[in-house]
Structure 1
Amino acid sequence: MKVGLAGTGWRAQMYVRVMKALGEEFEVSAVYVHSESSREREEKNFPGKVYTDYDEFLATKPDCVVFMLKYGAALPFAEKAMEQGIPVLCETPPAATVEELQAWYQAKEKYNGKVQVAEQYCFQPYYQALIHMIDQGKLGTISNLDISQAHDYHGMSVMRRLLGTGMENCRITARTYDFPVNYHCGREGLHKGEKTIVDTRKRAEFVFPDGKVGFFDFAGEQYFNYFRTRHLTLQGDCGEVHDQQAAWLGQDGYPVQGSIQRDELGQYSNLEGYGMRSLRLNGEILYRNPYADRDLRLTDEEIAVAQMMEGMKTYVETGKEVYPLEEALQDTYLFLMMDEAAKEGKEIQTQDQCWKKQ
């Protein structure tokens, strides 16, 4: 599939790495950048394929355009692609305000646009394992989730998927807190911790009409900081998962306990090379890495991105959706309402939006 790439930042670079790893499935056929200096830099990576004129970029007729632009900037560019019938994959979040979210949906409806959003979190192996357990009924009826693993719209995506709340409205309360923490790791990598920064922690409750509750708790440093780890607790009436530990009701009516373990290669004198083959619970395979047999050594995040790109390819070819625009709009809407609840210091009741199908 010929991919037009709009944007060349940190996130775009990850997508390029994954597409290269997937081999002949994908070709970055054109790259759009906003400045001449960016064009000169990217020409080294994509000789003869870099454009500063967006119309010329679209004129190359890619099979889809992947937008990796800054927060809230993609819509006017995506509209032009939709108008020309070119499928769109937009990085999260698609917009920065409720009005912009509505404009995205209106543009899709106006042009009958083919739009998906690169919300990859639920494709990560751990979440896929949890989804498998839920689908099995191993935990019974899910009632609540305490998630401290992903920020804002990513957290909303995981919360809605694991709770199974779909487009349901909810009541939201939220607060933010500032705490000092030593800074020693970020996108630039691990380094000496020579300064203390202020890390803002956001806590919120999402109460749904059927009694399900999502407890959200996240601080920006949790992705990289060794002193701010991530955690998750998922509870049903017949079981619980807390991080890697699980407990559920066995067939004999008695509780069973176990741990979700990674089947890792390349350790303890194993010479197969480093990689993850599967996730198991007491020997049962909950998740099998679809790229392990292809000898692709990908991180969990790269696996999720690969699944997103292959899902986009299927969408372009068949129309089967990988992550619909409407789902991403709802994720972002809930995150915006959470921020409003924290800012206003009062409970927010969400409302049906134009993208909710009746």
Structure 2
Amino acid sequence: MSGPVTLGVVGTGWRAEFFLRIAAALPDLRTVGIAARRPDAATAATARWGVPAHLSPAALVRHERPALVVVCVGKSENAAVVEDLALSGVKVLCETPPAPDLHGLRALWSAVGATRGVQVAEQYLMMPGHAARRELVRRGTIGEPTSVQVSSTHDYHAVAMMRGFLGVGTGPTEVRGVRFTAPLVDPLNRAGWTDDPRPRPAGTTLATVDFGDGRSGLYDFTDNQWHNRLRLRRVVVRGSAGELADDTVVRLAAPRTVLHSSISRSQLGQDLNLDGHDTEHLSFDGQVLWRNPFLGQRWMDEEIAIATVLRDSARWAVGDGPGPYSLAEACQDQLVALAVDEAVRTGRPVRTGTEAWAAR
């Protein structure tokens, strides 16, 4: 790249602020403008970020000409904004999901799929822990991956993790699901501590996804599991020669030799380490699986993942590398997530077919 990639952001909410804050710290990116819905929000955005703010995505593109536009709006509005921008020739990175329902997914793909101008900010597999686990699976440490259990995040994010660990594409699936309700204290939400010790009804969704060829996924998510520290997160990947459960790995290493090992995180800034609080790398049996490409920023895992998506999207926008996560992949994630919802609602198996984006 000859200089920083210019960036525009549509939206001023919680997720948009992640992108704006991270972009400001990356020397290869330069935010040139923001699109806000209301004049007061536009004024506040300019005051906070020091760039022009406009009242529509079209005005942002017309006046600032960014190489990449990040769309951070509600899921009911996402598809329309992405379609308008992509058809105007702008490279787009949109938030998840790309559309709220199956009709919207099909319509969006029909409108912009051929442009290949849209990437999606599906960041979970780029988080350090998941990136290291995926690399371990890719190296064949547990043999051929056959099933994935995800009890960590919801909907399309969980599906993306299943598909990523298994290496499955955009083919048909069969989904079954149920939902249970039980009391649970909810001490934290996005706003912070609730200071409420009373158990309240919380729903848990359990679903199985048959991806075909003996590969499967188990979905397990409790309401507000992202923030509720009273529910542990679990990721299990089972393979033909072993399995990993979070950071623990068991595998057949040689005849009559079953080994147990762990994924280890090198965390700076602890005890007498004075290099600043930062994640350095993740390793397994003396081999590095993942290195922090943003060492020195002191970012949490979520910020590292978003920064990775943003950096790779910027390079893709100017023809300097592949995109991080295509619209076709994100449409498939949402398709299966919608099938989970339908299976839970109806109590019947739901089959997804081969959609138009499967060819891409």
| TM superposition score normalised by structure 1 | 0.94
| Alpha-carbon distance, 1:173 to partner | 0.3
Question: Is 1:324 equivalent to 2:326 in the alignment?
Answer: yes
Question: Is 1:169 equivalent to 2:175 in the alignment?
Answer: no
* Residues 203-242 of structure 1, C-alpha deviations (whole Å, 9 max, x = no match): 1001122011111101132211121121111111111101
Amino acid at match of 2:72: M
Alignment of 1:88-127 (within 5 A): 88-109=92-113, 112-127=115-130
Question: Is 1:261 equivalent to 2:254 in the alignment?
Answer: no
Which of 3, 6, 12 lines up with 2:7 in the alignment? 3
Amino acid at match of 2:315: T
Query: Which residue is 1:286 aligned to?
Result: 289
| Alpha-carbon distance, 1:50 to partner | 0.9
Q: Counterparts of 1:57 and 1:272 in 2: how far apart (Å)?
A: 41
* Residues 233-285 of structure 1, C-alpha deviations (whole Å, 9 max, x = no match): 11111111011111112245511111112110111121111011111223322
Q: Runs of at least 4 residues of structure 1 off by over 4 A?
A: none
Instruction: Tell me whether 52-61 or 84-93 shows the greater mean CA deviation.
Output: 52-61
Query: Which residue is 1:73 aligned to?
Result: 77
Amino acid at match of 2:169: G
Alignment of 1:191-210 (within 5 A): 191-210=194-213
Query: Which residue is 1:349 aligned to?
Result: 351
Q: Counterparts of 2:200 and 2:93 in 1: how far apart (Å)?
A: 35
Instruction: Tell me whether 300-309 or 79-88 shows the greater mean CA deviation.
Output: 79-88
Q: Counterparts of 2:330 and 2:257 in 1: how far apart (Å)?
A: 40
Query: Which residue is 2:58 aligned to?
Result: 55
Amino acid at match of 1:216: Y
8 Å CA contact 1:172–1:337 kept in 2: the answer is yes
Compared with structure 1, are the counterparts of its residues 21 and 253 closer, same or farther at alpha carbon in structure 2 (3 Å cutoff)? farther
| Alpha-carbon distance, 1:85 to partner | 0.9
8 Å CA contact 1:128–1:287 kept in 2: the answer is yes
Q: 2:359 aligns to what SS in structure 1? A: coil
Q: Counterparts of 2:350 and 2:126 in 1: how far apart (Å)?
A: 30
Give unmatched runs, 5+ long, in structure 2: none
Taking every aligned residue pair, what percent have the same amino acid on both sides?
29
Q: 2:75 aligns to what SS in structure 1? A: coil
Q: Counterparts of 2:262 and 2:193 in 1: how far apart (Å)?
A: 29
Question: Is 1:220 equivalent to 2:223 in the alignment?
Answer: yes
Alignment of 1:130-209 (within 5 A): 130-209=133-212
Amino acid at match of 2:90: I
Q: Counterparts of 1:58 and 1:200 in 2: how far apart (Å)?
A: 43
* Residues 134-178 of structure 1, C-alpha deviations (whole Å, 9 max, x = no match): 221110111111111121000000000111221121111001122
Task: Kindly report the root-mean-square deviation, in angstroms, between the aligned alpha carbons of the 2 structures.
Answer: 1.6
Q: Counterparts of 1:145 and 1:33 in 2: how far apart (Å)?
A: 40
| Alpha-carbon distance, 1:190 to partner | 3.2
Compared with structure 1, are the counterparts of its residues 197 and 68 closer, same or farther at alpha carbon in structure 2 (3 Å cutoff)? farther
Instruction: Tell me whether 129-138 or 320-329 shows the greater mean CA deviation.
Output: 129-138
